[in-house]
Amino acid sequence: MDAERDRLTPARPVLASLAAFVSAGLRPRSLLARAIAVVLAAKLIAVVAMMTFSHFADQTAAVDAAAVSRLLGPSSRP
């Protein structure tokens, strides 16, 4: 049993931890883990949708020095 597990586990610890992370995300064991996986998937979908929308809109945010100074307030330097 251990020989089979060692053969399937990558030799590098980072890859092994990533493999464990992905397998835990694909098959969550508890109700809380399932809920977290669903929320993370929804956030990922929202971020991809926002990135896609902003890419195809081909627009950038209009921010100038005056807008930044209004947001941050006056500078304390003379």
pLDDT tens-digit readout, 24-57: 777 877 888 888 888 888 998 999 998 888 777 7
Residue 1 pLDDT level (bands cut at 50, 70, 90): very low
Residue with structure tokens 């931890």? 17
Neighbours of 25 (CB within 10 A): 13
Q: Where are the domains of the chain?
A: 2-72
Neighbours of 31 (CB within 10 A): 8
